[in-house]
Structure 1
């Protein structure tokens, strides 16, 4: 059993306590990504939500992690005190620390919890739904890190469960009339889209806005603009110089 120091049993007023930061903690546990879809899936989520985040954070203060560690307690070895969601978003934190990209997200240094974490399930989802105190991933997100929204995306089933933190525990969030899951604190909806992305046609986890309009990737926005320009030229000719 590993020994641990959690935020609950730390004396935060002890100024002599020198806690490790993201530069001193392992950035990886050395495990392979379990599914080749996981990396493009993370890119898709990040790319398409950027316009929303830029509008919500004109100062640029937000952080997105992709398969990155969230350290929530001190343990030996250090990796045992972290969870590494496939995708997460933290509002109102600077994008870099002292001019460096974070190697990980360290709760006792930054305090602000992620608003949403997403796990992409390649197996049966047992690990992602584990409620065992201290060691279970579900328990850690719910009781320790206290993430307001937790999504479990089962790739093989093309299905997602979204949990919302209500009081002291997660409640399963029902889909709306569009079959999407409203992430009200972010003003978006999360759902499954069947389509072509990065040369592969699969079910993908994607964002919509609160009115049900698709959030496009940068490439899709460019293609849409080119199509509008082509239609304009067909009707009116070339744009005036």
Structure 2
């Protein structure tokens, strides 16, 4: 009888999961310059905060249009050319297109009102276009060949084509806010106190600054509108919460119990107790 020894077969290691082998969130680009869109979650949240705290004393909400990540068609010479600001404000235009419809884009030759304020949020892939000749101090002018072969960058469009009075650029990575004001047809960077980075826009009677706080559950350094005294303007949600706290405080002053107040206002007992302290 012949005994045959089993052949030794090497055991292959099980395949590693995709989480370990494929590029991570940090490896992959968060934007594609050829296909403009929101590069990250911060852009959406920051733009929402700007819109929700915008309160212009001399303009009703129905007479203003604020938008985020919307195509802005800016020249009749090249009707297909557009830029996509992270956030912009146009005044003296109806909130709805022709008073009836949500906008799909913003077409200058139809609206007849250029944006009045534009905010760009810097990301690694957009810094050069957003800042143009201000991208680096040593780069005072772009090469003529580049200007001749490419469409104009955002800064050039906002400055020369649209003549936007107020242009802001903010980096969440460095918490640096830069303000360019149109003077004599050209943008000139404005200086302000770095300790209190709040900029007052006299023509709109509103200020813009960097606020350290929590928005939609996310702590960060955010751009936010303020009043002439530097008080941060509240979102609609914050205004409603403030009214509830004031109502709870008024009811507490009458001697009503916290449980009854909580039931009437639809808030927790803890919130009622907190409202006792302004």
| TM-score, structure 2 normalization | 0.68
CA 1:44–1:59: 2 relative to 1, 3 Å? closer
| Equivalent position of 2:49 in the other structure | 44
- Show CA shifts across 1:207-231 (max 9, x none): 1012211101111112222222222
| Equivalent position of 2:59 in the other structure | 57
For the residues of structure 2 that align with 1:119 and 1:32, how far apart are their CA atoms? Answer: 13
| Equivalent position of 1:25 in the other structure | none
How many residues in Structure 1 have an aligned counterpart in Structure 2?
Answer: 206
How does 1:183-222 map onto structure 2 within 5 Å? 183-222=201-240
CA 1:87–1:147: 2 relative to 1, 3 Å? same
| Structure with greater helix share of residues | 2
How does 1:129-148 map onto structure 2 within 5 Å? 129-131=131-133, 135-148=152-165
Q: Which has the higher contact order (CA 8 A, sep 6+)?
A: 1
For the residues of structure 2 that align with 1:166 and 1:48, how far apart are their CA atoms? Answer: 27
Q: CA deviation at 1:58?
A: 3.8
For the residues of structure 2 that align with 1:113 and 1:76, how far apart are their CA atoms? Answer: 17
Alignment equivalent of 2:171, drawn from 134, 139, 154: 154
For the residues of structure 1 that align with 2:196 and 2:206, how far apart are their CA atoms? Answer: 13
Structure 2: give runs of 5+ residues left out of the alignment.
1-33, 134-141, 262-278
Contact 1:68 1:84 in 2 (8 A): yes
- Show CA shifts across 1:85-135 (max 9, x none): 111111101222242211111111222111100001121722211245551
> What's the C-alpha RMSD, in Å, of the aligned pairs?
2.2
Contact 2:61 2:95 in 1 (8 A): no
Contact 2:36 2:84 in 1 (8 A): no
| Structure with greater strand share of residues | 1
CA 1:232–1:37: 2 relative to 1, 3 Å? same
Farther-moved stretch of structure 1 (38-47 vs 169-178): 169-178
SS at match of 1:164: strand
Q: CA deviation at 1:192?
A: 0.7
Is the radius of gyration larger for structure 1 or structure 2?
A: 2
SS at match of 2:130: coil
For the residues of structure 2 that align with 1:82 and 1:136, how far apart are their CA atoms? Answer: 10
Structure 1: give runs of 5+ residues left out of the alignment.
1-28
| Equivalent position of 1:181 in the other structure | 199
For the residues of structure 2 that align with 1:104 and 1:32, how far apart are their CA atoms? Answer: 13
How does 1:49-128 map onto structure 2 within 5 Å? 49=54, 52-53=55-56, 55-58=57-60, 60-74=62-76, 78=80, 81-98=81-98, 99-123=100-124, 125-128=127-130
| TM-score, structure 1 normalization | 0.78
SS at match of 2:53: helix
Contact 2:170 2:178 in 1 (8 A): yes
For the residues of structure 2 that align with 1:76 and 1:171, how far apart are their CA atoms? Answer: 27
SS at match of 1:128: helix
